[in-house]
Amino acid sequence: MKTIQTNNQQIPWQDKPDTCTDVVWRYTQNPIIERDAIPASNSIFNSAVVPFGDGFAGVFRCDNKAVQMNIYAGFSKNGIDWQINHEPITMQSGNTNMIASDYKYDPRVTFIEDRYWVTWCNGYYGPTIGIAYTFDFEEFFQCENAFLPFNRNGVLLPQKINGKYAMLSRPSDNGHTPFGDIFISYSPDMKYWGEHRCVMQATDFEDSAWQCTKIGAGSVPFLTKEGWLLFYHGVITTCNGFRYAMGAAILDKEQPSKVKYRTQPYLLSPNESYEQIGDVPNVIFPCATVQNIEEDKVAIYYGAADTVVALAFGKISEIIAFTKENSM
C-alpha cells in the first residue's frame, strides 16, 4: 500500500489551558506511551510518528529488559493511542547487502516523494546513522549507513534541496558526547553523502546556557512561510549531569544550512515528573511532529526521561513569532 502524506489532516490536539503563558503546552494525559506498553519493553521513548493511511504510523525506540536498544513499528487511529508491534523491525536489503547493526535507537521518519524513510542511530563499530525505507511499515529495506561512526541524530528533510536529499546530523563520540553541533549533508541517491556544512553550534554559556553543551536535530523540519521549522534539543551540563530541553530554529528554505532564527530561551524544559524522573532524569527529546498548516496547529512528540513518550502542542504562527522575537 502506498500512502500520500498530506499536511491538512486531523492531528492530536488540545487547546492551550487559560493558565498557560508559554508558547508550547503539554498534553494533559501525558505520557501517551508508558514504558511497559509492550511485554518486552523496559522503556519506550525518543520515537517517530507520521500520518499514514487514515491514521498514523510510527517507529518506536523500545529498550527491552536486557536493555538492548531496538526499533519497533506501531500504528494508531488518533495519534495518541498506539498499538506497537511486540517484535522489532527486521530489515531486508535495500541499496546494499551490508545491513549489520549492533543496536538501533532514536528513530526519525520522513516521507519523501513515494515512501517513508527511517533514519536512526545504528550500531556499527559505534553509533552512526542508519537509513531504511518502507512503503507500508510492514517491510523495511535497509540502506548503506550515511556516515562514518560516530554520529547521532540523523534527520532527513522531507524535500530534496537542489535535486539532492538533505540530512541533518550531529557528529559525536562513542560515549555520552560532551560536545556537538548540527551539520547538514547532501546525497544524490541516499547512498553517498557529502557537501557537509555546519548549520548551527552549541552556544556560549553566557548567551543561552540550556544549549551550551551540545545540540541535535529533533523533529523532521516542515516548511512554513519563513522557512523550515525545526525543533531541536539543547543540553547543559549541570553538577548532576546533562539536562535536555527543546528549542526551535528556522532554516532558510533554499539553503537550509543557513539559520534565519533560533530561540535563545527554550520552548520546553523538564518540569513535569515524567520528564524529571525516569531511567535518565531531566530529558526532553523531540523526534517528530504532525501538523495541520491550514489550522495553524502542530503536535510535537518527545521522549521524556528516556522512559516514556509524551506530546505537546503549539500554534505554528505563535512559535514562528516567538522564535523571531527571541532569536539569537
State yes or no: residue 275 binds ligand BMA (CB under 6 A): no
Q: Which of 213, 211, 210, 127 is nearest to 171 (CA)?
A: 127
Question: Closest distance between ligand BMA and the C-beta of residue 84, in Å?
Answer: 17
Q: Judged by CB, which is closer to ligand BMA: 23, or 202?
A: 202
Looking at the DSSP bridge assignments, the partners of residue 110 are 117
Residue 121 cell numbers, joined:
542511530
State yes or no: residue 129 binds ligand BMA (CB under 6 A). Answer: no
Residue 43 touching ligand BMA (CB under 6 A): no
Q: How far is the CB of 78 from ligand BMA (least distance, A)?
A: 26
- Is 237 one of the binding residues for ligand BMA (CB under 6 A)? no
Q: Phi/psi class of residue 231: alpha, beta or left (left: φ > 0; alpha: ψ in -120 to 50)? A: beta
**DSSP per-residue letters across 204-243:** PTTT-GGGSSEEEE-SPPEEETTEEEEEEEEEEEETTEEE
Confirm if 293 and 225 have CB atoms less than 8 A apart.
no
Cα separation, 170 vs 139, in Å, equals 28
Residue corresponding to grid cell 491514521: 55
208 binds ligand BMA (CB under 6 A): no
CB of 225 to ligand BMA, least distance (A): 32
Q: Which stretch binds ligand BMA (CB under 6 A): 90-98, 129-137, 277-285, 309-317?
A: 277-285
Task: Give whichever of 56 and 244 is closer to ligand BMA, judged by the CB atom.
Answer: 244
Dihedral class, residue 229 (left if φ above 0, else alpha if ψ from -120 to 50, else beta): beta
Residues in contact with ligand BMA, counted by CB under 6 A, come to a total of 10
* Single residue of 221, 222, 306, 308 touching ligand BMA by CB under 6 A: 306
Q: Does 293 bind ligand BMA (CB under 6 A)?
A: no
Residues that bind ligand BMA in the complex, under the rule CB under 6 A: 46, 105-106, 176, 244, 280, 283, 285, 303, 306
